[in-house]
C-alpha cells in the first residue's frame, strides 16, 4: 500500500479553494484538477509500505506529541517543471514542529526524510502531459488578468495516515488512522483513532 501522513482541510478552507477551482477550471483545458475531498497538506510521503510496516508506522505516529496547528493558506503558485498548480501554506512554527516530529517518528521505522526543505502546499491541478510550463501557461495568464486574493485559515486538531489508491480517474485517498493534536500536548502522547473500515 502507498502511504503518506497529512492534515485534512477544514470545510471552510476546502470551500474557499473550491471557489478558486470554479473560477479557474475553464482556463486550463490540459489540466487534471484534483477533487476537493482529496485536498490535504502533506507532512511526509512514505511510499509503498507492507502491512506489517504500516502497523509499525501507525504505532510510531501515535507517539507524536504536538499541540493543535494553525494552518494558513495564503497564495497560489506553480511548480512549472512538475506541471503543478498549488495553493501555498504558510510555514508556521507549529506546522514545522509537527512535520519534524512526524519525520523523526518515521525515521525510527526506516523512512529517510526528503533532502529538500519542507514546502507545505495543496495540489489543485496537474498538467496532463509532460509539457508542464506550456500546459500551465493559460492558467498563469488567467491569474495575471484576474488575480485572486486567497485567504483561508483553520486550526488542525488532528493529523492523519492516508493510503493513496490509484485509479483510472486519478488517485483517491483513504484515511487509515487519525491522531489527535491536543492543547498542552506538546509534552503528552498523541491519541490515535483507527479509521472506520
In angstroms, the Cα distances linking 193 to 12, 16, 110, 161, 178 are 23, 28, 23, 10, 5
Distance CA 88, CA 91 (A): 9
**Backbone phi, then psi, for 118, in 5-degree steps?**
-65, 125
Catalytic residue among 101, 121, 126, 176: 121
Annotated catalytic, 191?
A: no
Annotated catalytic, 37?
A: no
- Given a contact cutoff of 8 angstroms between Cβ atoms, the answer to whether 37 and 162 are in contact is no
Task: Give the contacts of 135 (CB within 8 A, at least 6 positions apart).
Answer: 28, 30, 31, 83, 127, 128, 129
- Given a contact cutoff of 8 angstroms between Cβ atoms, the answer to whether 85 and 78 are in contact is yes
Catalytic residue among 34, 40, 126, 181: 40
DSSP 128: S
- Given a contact cutoff of 8 angstroms between Cβ atoms, the answer to whether 195 and 178 are in contact is yes
Q: Which residues are catalytic?
A: 40, 121
Amino acid at each position: 500500500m502507498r502511504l503518506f501522513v497529512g492534515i485534512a482541510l477544514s470545510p471552510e478552507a476546502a470551500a474557499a479553494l473550491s471557489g478558486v477551482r470554479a473560477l479557474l477550471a475553464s482556463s486550463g483545458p490540459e489540466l487534471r484538477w484534483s477533487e476537493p475531498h482529496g485536498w490535504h497538506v502533506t507532512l511526509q510521503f512514505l511510499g509503498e509500505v507492507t502491512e506489517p510496516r504500516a502497523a509499525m508506522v501507525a504505532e510510531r505516529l501515535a507517539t507524536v506529541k504536538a499541540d493543535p496547528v494553525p494552518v494558513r493558506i495564503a497564495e497560489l503558485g506553480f511548480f512549472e517543471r512538475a506541471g503543478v498548480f498549488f495553493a501555498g501554506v504558510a510555514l508556521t512554527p507549529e506546522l514545522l514542529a509537527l512535520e519534524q516530529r512526524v519525520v523523526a517518528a518515521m525515521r525510527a521505522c526506516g523512512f529517510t526524510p526528503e533532502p529538500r526543505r519542507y514546502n507545505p502546499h495543496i495540489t489543485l491541478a496537474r498538467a496532463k502531459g509532460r509539457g508542464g510550463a506550456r500546459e500551465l501557461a493559460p492558467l498563469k495568464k488567467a491569474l495575471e488578468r484576474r488575480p485572486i486574493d486567497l485567504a483561508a485559515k483553520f486550526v488542525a486538531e488532528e493529523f492523519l495516515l492516508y493510503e493513496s489508491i490509484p485509479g483510472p480517474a486519478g488517485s483517491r485517498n483513504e484515511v487509515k488512522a487519525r491522531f489527535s493534536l491536543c492543547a498542552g500536548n506538546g509534552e503528552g502522547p498523541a491519541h490515535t483513532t483507527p479509521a472506520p473500515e
